[in-house]
């Protein structure tokens, strides 16, 4: 029987009433002839509430224990969902990450999946059960419970879809799909019918909180077709899939902003081989995510090196940077956590230099200063003041005519992806 | 190093503030030179809240899934407690029932512990950790998560104390120990310094909600010394231990009432071999707990058989009883869930027939009708109307002078048990 993986986000299972609605949707998929594997997130704000309790006890909770704590949220949601599906007359059984064979490395708080051993899942599917798996969690090679980081349930779903050879991985959320910009910032933002893995990667990395970045990487590597859609209606959402001949070449897919990062600048670093390696080796050993590393040409044998790190990592990173200044012979450093990064993503960027010029013009017309710039073949990112972020997104979105049906063709059209 | 097991009830860990107080108590025991194993219950009413959510979905939740759900409460409490102990500078690690090697049978909702494989606990103690174990739960021989029934954390604690050869098993709760009656019903009720396993068994079976019945059985079988005490002060509580020569012979240890059961009567059962076996074989196969089976001498070849079952089991049992009436050729049946059972417990009951007479007189003086009577060597139980329960407890408590220091000597005195 064909397998489908469905992942439901926290708002989709926030109450027992919504859990019942999800159960109906799952049962409907089962009745359409699919073997259904459901990945459940924690109910509503449950994870944040657990985290808050831990922080009432101490500013820096023990990482192993925190992971045990946080995984309780998915355990509650998955078993309630299973209760609801069973009550609807459809046999179902639920499994923790550990029981589902989701094996990770030993990095608590942001473990990576290194293997899926779906023996119990296949057994349960074989006897006709709907299978529910706790998202966001696994068991480490040291037999400890681990979590996959914020949004990790997306990665759980994609990894299971890959391991089970699923027809598709449906990501149910509280928005109808992937938009050209955050609709709460840009009211005219438009839903995309399809984006390529690469564009979705850039969007996810640019602050579009639709999918965990790692889940998109996983989907791309394993060729998993992902369908992002709303759990509140039956509309087709956005397909994330291989770019293929049936897709028209898009110029721009969307604009995103991210204010979750802080900027670190190490000043007057000696411009010699090994400086950057020493700095980023040290930062990486702190386990901090690094983004948008920028180094310009030096003057008088010295250069400034800037990069972004998640604000949550700033306390750890800043202590390390303090030491690094002396080690590499730099002159000082600055930290700035009042910034935002605005990014424009689209497969047509590289082949159309006018896009870069137009983006900078849009921001300049708004009087917004650019503090850092970094580009890839399908993305342009600018660091600006945090307070300017919403205005910047609206200006860029407007400049490229992404609203409604007007403006340049900015969307992939596929004949079959949504079938 | 000597091992001590400490179990904390739901009220003792109801808030992060109380969890911090428990952490201090644990750290103090560790500093006194003990290897400490802590068994954590769910915070406050967490288990009831999870149960209520499941019942919002369906009246009869799937048993396997319900167990997965309910175990989340202890998981949250244990990991928060571990975070707090680590934050207090004392290394600690927490383990689910499964991780702690608590192996049970496959009866979801009231599994029995069949083995303890404390490999990970011993390893953690060996490296100097305080070990926290989730109460109330284990993993079945079929690798599914199971729960041990209401109050099951007591049994977890006693079983671990037995497996680890602990010096004592401390049960921390919101009352200072075991009383001659429920102090909320009888304001003059007095705390007992010690009771024997046998008396505690009868008290637990009679509705004294201090310890799970099964935990007392387990303690008795394995000779585990149990100390019931308050988590809110440092007073000695009540020791539950082998009756020995140092204990004075007590006459009465306490009065308890239980209104959690319903009465089932099967009327005019043919008085022939096999009738009772057929009836209770069928009830047992429903997995319902049976209590206080009473059959009086028959008349004209027929007799009534009555028994108590937990109200929660009544829906299942009543369907079975309906069928049984025809199968054994009885004339009918009645169900009554508006009853209470009042019990008097004491090692001196058997040797002092006046006790039975005095108890019945006390109830008669209050105009309370006795609907069923059952006695053991150390207990007398009467079934009465539920509304009379508090009045009955007060009357019996008064009759036997259990309040204050007056009245008959009703308490074990031990020279060393509380040391």
Give the helix ranges, DSSP H, for A184-303. Answer: 197-205, 213-222, 275-285
pLDDT tier at B406, thresholds 50, 70, 90: very low
Tokens standing for residue B109: 């909702």
Q: Find chain A residues with C-beta within 8 A of B86's C-beta.
A: 58, 61-62, 65
Per-residue pLDDT at B244: 57
Contact B79 A96 (CB under 8 A): no
Q: Which of B235, B129, B117, B161 minimizes the C-alpha distance to B7?
A: B161
Q: Which range among A6-20, A400-414, B87-101 shows the weakest confidence by mean pLDDT?
A: A400-414
Distance from CA of A216 to the nearest CA of B (A): 30
- Structure-token pair, residue A245: 């001949």
Render pLDDT for A218-249 as a digit per residue (tens, 0 to 9).
999 899 999 999 988 889 999 998 875 444 45
Other beta carbons within 10 Å of B353 = 9
Q: Look-up: residue for tokens 């997130």?
A: A41
Instruction: Find chain A residues with C-beta within 8 A of B61's C-beta.
Output: 83, 86-87
Please answer whether residues B102 and B137 qualify as being in contact, where contact means their C-beta atoms are separated by less than 8 angstroms. yes
- Among B68, B80, B84, the residue with its CB nearest the CB of A79 is B68
**Averaged pLDDT, A38-42:** 97
Cβ of B62 and A78 within 8 Å?
no
| Strand ordering across the sheet containing B254-258 | B254-258, B339-345, B379-385, B372-376
**In the prediction, which pLDDT does A295 show?**
77
Residues of B with CB under 8 A from a CB of A: 16, 19-20, 50, 53-54, 56-58, 60-62, 64-66, 68-69, 71-72, 75-76, 78-80, 82-84, 86-87, 92-94, 96, 99, 120, 143, 145
Chain A CA closest to residue B73: A72
Q: What is the pLDDT of residues B312-344, one digit of tens each?
A: 888 888 888 999 999 889 999 999 999 999 999
Distance CA B192, CA B150 (A): 24
SS3 B241: strand
Shortest Cα distance, chain B CAs vs residue A288, angstroms: 22
Both ends of chain B: CA-CA distance in Å? Answer: 19
In a domain, B185, yes or no: yes
Closest of A225, A224, A199 to residue A213, by C-alpha: A199
Whole-number pLDDT of residue B351? 67
Question: The dihedral of CA A20, A22, A23, A29: what is its sign?
Answer: positive
Min distance B120 CA to chain A CA atoms (Å): 10
The residue among A53, A83, A85, A121 with the most chain B CBs within 10 A of its CB, best to mutate, is A83
Output the domain CATH number for residue B62.
3.40.1160.10
Structural domain contains residue A263: no
d(CA B42, CA B135): 8
Spatial contact of A190 and A404, defined as CB atoms under 8 Å apart: yes
Distances (CA, A) of B91 to A225, B42, B125: 45, 22, 10
Whether A401 is covered by a domain: the verdict is: no
Q: State how far residue A163 is from chain B, nearest Cα, in angstroms.
A: 22
Token pair of A118 as six digits? 């779906």
How do the residues of chain A divide into helix, strand and coil, expressed in percent and rounded to 5? 35, 25, 40
B217: number of Cβ within 10 Å: 17
3-state DSSP assignment of residue B239: strand
Other Cβ atoms less than 10 A from the Cβ of A336: the count is: 15
- What are the chain A neighbours of B87 within 8 Å (beta carbons)? 57-58, 60-62
Q: Taking Cα atoms as reference points, which of A338, A280, A345, A272 lies closest to residue A306?
A: A280
The rounded distance, in Å, linking the Cα atoms of B314 and B335 is 9
Q: Which residues of A touch B (CB under 8 A)?
A: 16, 19-20, 50, 53-54, 56-58, 60-62, 64-66, 68-69, 71-72, 75-76, 78-80, 82-84, 86-87, 92-94, 96, 99, 120, 143, 145
pLDDT at B202 over 70: yes
Residue B245: alpha-carbon gap to chain centroid: 27
Interchain pair B57, A94: CB under 8 A:
no
Does the predicted model carry a pTM greater than 0.80? no
- What is the distance in angstroms between the Cα of A36 and the nearest Cα belonging to chain B? 17
pLDDT computed for residue A13 by the predictor: 96
A79/B75 Cβ within 8 A: no
Sign of the dihedral defined by the CA atoms of residues B143, B57, B133, B229, in that order: negative
Residue among A53, A68, A80 whose CB faces B69 most closely = A80
Q: Could you give the angle at which helices A72-87 and A46-57 cross, rounded to 10 degrees?
A: 150
User: Is there a contact between A309 and A283 (Cβ–Cβ < 8 Å)?
Assistant: yes
d(CA B1, CA B322) in angstroms, rounded, equals 58
Condensed to tens digits (0 to 9), the pLDDT of residues A107-123 reads 999 899 999 999 999 99
For residue B402, give every residue at least 6 positions away whose Cβ sits within 8 Å of its Cβ, in sequence order, or none: B180, B181, B186, B188, B189, B190, B252, B254, B255, B410
The helix (run of H) or strand (run of E) holding residue B92 is strand B92-95
Sheet of A137-140: strands edge to edge?
A113-116, A102-104, A137-140, A145-147
- Burial degree of B411 (CB within 10 A; 0-12, 13-18, 19+): buried
Mean pLDDT of B31-39: 96
Question: Over the stretch B234-260, which tens digit does the pLDDT of each residue have?
Answer: 899 999 988 754 444 556 888 999 999
B159: tokens are 């079983």
Choose the mutation target among A21, A69, A137, A145 for the interface with B, i.e. most B CBs under 10 Å: A69
Q: Is residue A119 part of a domain?
A: yes
Task: Residue B203: name the closest of B216, B193, B190 by CA.
Answer: B216
Query: Looking at A80-89, B138-147, B296-305, which range is the least confident one?
Result: B296-305
Of A56, A62, A72, the CB nearest to B76: A72
Pull the structure tokens for residue A241.
């899939």
Q: How many CB atoms lie within 10 A of CB A253?
A: 31
Domain range for B232: 3-248
Q: Look at A83 and A399; give whichever has higher pLDDT.
A: A83
Element containing residue B258 per DSSP (H, E): strand B254-258
| Pairing mode of beta strands B339-345, B332-336 | unpaired
Output DSSP code: residue A92.
E
Q: Kindly determine whether residue A61 and residue B94, on different chains, have CB atoms separated by under 8 Å.
A: no
CB contact at 8 A, B288 and B110: no
Beta-carbon separation of B65 and A53 below 8 A: no
What is the pLDDT, as a whole number, of residue B198? 85
Instruction: Establish whether this prediction's ipTM goes over 0.85.
Output: no
Give the residue on A whose Cα is nearest the Cα of B21: A57
pLDDT tens for residues A64-98?
A: 999 999 999 999 999 999 999 999 999 999 999 99
Residue A328 lies in a domain: no
Cβ–Cβ < 8 Å for B180, B254: yes
Residue at B260 is within a domain:
no
B93/A64 CB distance under 8 A: yes
Query: Pseudo-torsion of CA B382, B386, B388, B389, nearest 10°?
Result: 60
pLDDT reported for residue A244: 57
Burial B86-110 (b: 16+ CB within 10 A, else e): bbbebebbbbbbbbbbbbbeebbbb
Nearest chain B residue to A61, by CA: B83
Determine the Cα–Cα distance for residues A72 and A348; give it in Å rounded to an integer: 44
Residues A385, A369: contact at Cβ < 8 Å? yes
DSSP B10: G
Residue B13 lies in a domain: yes
Q: How many domains does chain A have?
A: 1
Mean pLDDT of A140-157: 94
Strand-pairing partners, residue A345, are A254, A379
Residue A416 resides in a domain: no
């Amino acid at each position: 029987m064909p397998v489908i993986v469905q992942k439901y986000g926290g708002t989709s299972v926030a109450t027992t009433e919504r859990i019942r609605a999800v159960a109906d949707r799952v049962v409907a998929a089962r009745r359409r002839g699919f073997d259904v594997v459901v990945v459940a997130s924690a109910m509503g704000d449950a994870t944040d509430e657990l985290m808050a309790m831990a922080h009432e006890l101490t500013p820096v909770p023990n990482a192993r224990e925190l992971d045990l704590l946080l995984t309780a949220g998915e355990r509650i949601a998955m078993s309630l969902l299973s209760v609801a599906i069973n009550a609807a007359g459809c046999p179902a059984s639920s499994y923790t990450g550990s029981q589902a064979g989701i094996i990770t490395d030993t990095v608590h708080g942001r473990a990576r999946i290194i293997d899926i051993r779906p023996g119990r899942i296949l057994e349960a599917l074989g006897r006709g059960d709907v299978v529910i798996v706790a998202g966001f969690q696994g068991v480490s090679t040291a037999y400890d419970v681990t979590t996959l980081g914020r949004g990790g349930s997306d990665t759980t779903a994609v990894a299971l879809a890959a391991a089970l050879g699923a027809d598709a991985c449906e990501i149910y959320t509280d928005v109808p799909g992937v938009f050209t910009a955050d609709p709460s910032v840009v009211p005219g933002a438009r839903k995309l019918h399809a984006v390529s893995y690469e564009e979705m990667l850039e969007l996810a990395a640019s602050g579009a909180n639709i999918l965990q970045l790692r889940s998109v990487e996983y989907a791309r590597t394993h060729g998993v077709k992902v369908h992002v859609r709303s759990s509140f209606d039956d509309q087709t959402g956005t397909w994330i899939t291989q770019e293929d001949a049936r897709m028209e070449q898009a110029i721009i897919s969307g604009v995103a902003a991210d204010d979750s990062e802080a900027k670190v600048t190490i000043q007057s670093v000696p411009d010699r081989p090994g400086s950057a390696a020493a700095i980023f080796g040290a930062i990486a050993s702190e386990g901090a995510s690094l983004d948008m590393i920028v180094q310009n040409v030096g003057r008088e044998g010295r250069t400034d090196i800037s990069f972004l790190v998640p604000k949550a990592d700033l306390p750890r990173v800043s202590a390390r940077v303090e030491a690094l200044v002396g080690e590499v012979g730099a002159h000082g450093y600055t930290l700035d956590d009042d910034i935002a990064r605005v990014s424009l993503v689209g497969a047509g960027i590289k082949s159309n230099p006018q896009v870069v010029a137009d983006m900078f013009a849009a921001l300049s017309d708004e009087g917004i200063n650019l503090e850092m710039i970094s580009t890839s073949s399908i993305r342009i990112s600018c660091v600006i003041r945090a307070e300017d972020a919403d205005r910047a997104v609206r200006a860029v979105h407007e400049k490229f005519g992404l609203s409604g049906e007007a403006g340049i063709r900015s969307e992939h059209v596929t004949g079959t992806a949504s079938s």
